[in-house]
Structures are given as C-alpha cells and as structure tokens.
Amino acid sequence: MNLILQGLNTDRPTIERIASIADAQRIVPVAPHAWRCEGVRNNDTLKSDIDTQCLAAKLDYAFVEPGRRLSDFRLVTMDMDSTLITIECIDEIADMQGLKPQVAEITEAAMRGEIEFRESLTRRVALLKGLDASALQRVYDERLQLSPGAEKMLAAVKAAGLKTLLVSGGFTFFTDRIKTRLGMDYTHSNELEIVDGKLTGRVAGGIVDADEKKKMVEQVCAELGVSTKQAIVMGDGANDLKMMGIAGISVAFRAKPVVRAQADVALNFVGLDGILPLFE
C-alpha cells in the first residue's frame, strides 16, 4: 500500500516522521507539495494515528493501491457550491436581500445532514421571493470564484480522457455558465423560477437532491458504458454522500465531518488538484 502525503507548508522532516510511523520503505516526491510513501502498513489503528499526526501538521493523506492511474477512470463528478467553487450561491443571492444569515443557517444545517435537502432548499428559495433576477449575474460576476486547483485538476482529467459532470443542488444559472467557461461535458442542477424579471421563491421542475445526484451519476456512467466504480466523485456536504457512495473513489473537499468520515479521500488543506498525486 502507498501513503500519499500533501501539504502546502510542510518540510521533509515532517514527511519522514509520519512516513516512519507507517513503516514506509521509500519516500518519493511526486509533486511540489506531495510525497508518495511506499510499502506502508494499513490498519485502523495506524490510520487513526496518521489522521491525528496529519491534522496537526496540516497535511492531507490518502492510502492508495499501487499502480492506479487516472486513466483507469472514465468520469469525474463534482458538486458545485463549496466544492468546484468557493461560495454557496444561494447564500450570496440572499445577501442581496439582506437575508444571508437566515439562509446560511439553513444551508449549514442541510450540509451537516440535520435538515432534509428538499425541505431546506424549498425554505431557502422561498426567502428569495421578489428579488430582481439581475442579482444572479451580480453574484456570478462579483463573488463566484473557482476553488484552488480547479482548473489544473480539470485540465489533467481531460488530458487523461475522462468526462466531467457538474451535478448540483444549486442553480442552472451558474452551472450553465461554468460548463461553458470550463468546457465541462455534463451539468445537472435546479432551475430558479423567474417571472417578469423577479424570483418567485420557487424552483421550476423537480429538485436535485441526494437521490437525484446519485441517479445522474448512474445515468452518465450508463451513457458512457462504464461502471460507477470508474467514477471519481467529489463533494462537501451530506447531500453528496449518496453519489459518493457509488463511486470508485470518493473525495471530500473541505467537507463537513459527516462527509469526511465516509469518503475514501479527504482534502482539507490542498486544492482540488490534490487528487492528481493519488495516481502518480
């Protein structure tokens, strides 16, 4: 088994100390901020120890099977809000109404899995009733930023021949623009109902919840003629767990504890391109 260690501000002695805990046979640099520790042990006790040590050193880690390549996979699926991008779009839209604290509180509860997503989205969107639709463009222009490493990660997965899917409990206004901007293959998200230039406080059509996200991953994989085990799925909230659960590799990106606990890989400190050293 290999242990991949990654961190933006660490030193070789720290890497060597953690590698020694896992009885690594060799340490190989695989990227400017990533190291592969080869021939390590892997058990629950060791993983708990590594987890504690890496958290203290602000390192991300992952146990990976030797020889896995990015080209072994066929699809990368990403959540949008707080995963591919740094913001929760609905919170920023609400800020235009002076309602960000109220909406953000519901968002956080849903991300932690304390409120069912459909209920949370319905409640949050209802608070936006009457907002001028131009606020959506303002959020896109003024506040939406890609997460660190997003473009590097996407360039690498495309070069390896993988398709890309952006599936979100957010809104088509943003996913459509990101799809065009980044050249993504598939998107699926909610549509805000707009009448006479104003948000009605409702979603048009069905709601993209955890079940719908999982269904979309299955649908795209079927279209590509591959197993869901050939998908890498990345997310940060409880609404992502079902689609992450069917993936070959699930990645929790700066995620809530409930998501980190269930993911194969957790990236807390490096960017989205932190998935790339897993396959070096």
Beta sheet of 198-204, edge-to-edge order: 198-204, 186-195, 163-171, 75-78, 231-235, 249-253, 265-267
> Tokens standing for 81?
């809000």
Q: Strand, coil or helix: what is 140?
A: helix
Q: State phi, psi for 61 to the nearest 5 degrees.
A: -140, 160
Query: Within a 10 A sphere around the Cβ of 248, how many other Cβ atoms?
Result: 18
Catalytic residue among 11, 49, 81, 141: 81
Q: Is 196 a catalytic residue?
A: no
Element (H, E) at 250: strand 249-253
Taking each helix axis from N to C end, the angle separating 117-126 and 100-111, rounded to the nearest 10 degrees, works out to 170
Active-site residue flag, 132: no
Beta strands across the sheet bearing 26-31: 26-31, 34-38, 2-6, 60-64
Q: How far apart are CA 1 and CA 18, in angstroms?
A: 15
Catalytic residue, chosen from 44, 51, 60, 79, is 79
Nearest to 12 by CA among 27, 30, 31: 27
Backbone angles phi, psi at 15, to 5 degrees: -60, -45
Q: Active-site residue numbers?
A: 79, 81
